[in-house]
Amino acid sequence: MSRQRRKALIVLSSAKVLPLAEPTGHPGIPTGFFLCELGQVLEEFGDDHDFTFVTPDGEVPQLDVNGLALPWHATGRLLSATARTTVEGAFRFDVDTYRARRPDLVARRAAELDLAYRYLGNIPVSAPLPRTDKEAVALRDDVVAAFAALPRHEYQSIPRIMARHRDPADEFDLGEFDFVHLPGGHAPMVDFVDDPWMGELLNTLHEHGVLISLICHGPIAMASAKYRVDADGGVRTTSDHPFAGIRLTTVPKYGEVGFSRFGFLKFPGLRTRVTYYVDEALVDAGFKVEIAVPNPGAVKVVWEPDARVLTGNGPQAVDEQCEALRTHLGDTTRPGAKRSSA
């Protein structure tokens, strides 16, 4: 008898516009999820897991073109890769030369794009910003065309999968998932936060012992853990939830401000700021936030065993986070863990 495949849940943001606090009155900028915070999970667990992809509202996610920049794929070498790119970009820039000097990063990104085409189907790609990486802009048309040639996949909403889980006649069972992974990019700042259904999903997964993995801006979803939604759709809030006070890591404010001054968020000639900072919002929500200092590009991964919550602080942490995820999935003593019969 063939071995039964395991299951993993992937929750992607479907937000496509990120509001800005400054410039005043700005309509917001194109945004999406970062593939580099998802691709390694698909690579690492795709051989033995079937993935279910959902978004908060059931709309298709959007890939952020900014997350295709090669330095993001350098993982633990993020800071040095970014510095070298900045130096080269200050002079005459040749795309082919730039790529030829980074064959390992080009190959990793190509492999992750192949996984995205395989698993995600026809999804949009965000428009470039004034400070978007030049090489990523050069790649964008090819990526857009590759996605456009694919069939459109269905993305269930969180309310939909919760309704299925609660329906005795439906075989869908959240307790059958080994883990859930929530990638970042700035998009989760829009639709992962202050969402009662996100809170209900996280609490239900915890009740079934499912490991919860969040990376970069993805941990902002934990600010929704205070919510529960009953069978009739009634929403209540509670400070006495199972995640209260746990340790998390995420993007630090000082790193985000840096991107608002020098990175792809920056509008030349204008002060650019997001509407809030994820680390501050999580502290306000009662969590203990640990950040990498003084280097926002350093790797930091935090594991909370009682809550079974694993967080990483950005693309630089994704490999270490996958290793930790594999390690902690080896714990078959978790509540609700499925054991195969002999």
220 falls within a domain: yes
* Mean pLDDT of all residues in 181-189: 98
Confidence at residue 297, expressed as pLDDT on a 0 to 100 scale? 87
224 falls within a domain: yes
Identify the CA nearest to 196 among candidates 231, 164, 236: 236
Enclosing domain of residue 314: 6-62+155-329
- Angstrom distance (rounded) from CA 115 to CA 339: 29
308 falls within a domain: yes
* Mean pLDDT of all residues in 2-21: 92
Domain total of the chain: 1
Judge whether residue 221 has pLDDT over 60.
yes
322 falls within a domain: yes
Q: pLDDT category, 89, cuts 50, 70, 90?
A: low
User: pTM of the prediction?
Assistant: 0.94
CATH of the domain at 53: 3.40.50.880
- Angstrom distance (rounded) from CA 259 to CA 137: 18
For 108, the token pair is: 């990793």
Q: Where are the alpha helices (DSSP H) in the chain?
A: 39-45, 78-89, 95-100, 103-120, 134-148, 158-166, 188-191, 196-207, 253-261, 278-284, 318-329
pLDDT tens, 120-164? 999 999 999 999 999 999 999 999 999 999 999 999 999 999 999
104 falls within a domain: no
112 falls within a domain: no
Amino acid occupying residue 305: P
148 falls within a domain: no
pLDDT tens, 304-340? 999 999 999 999 999 999 999 999 998 544 554 443 3
* Mean pLDDT of all residues in 60-68: 98
168 falls within a domain: yes
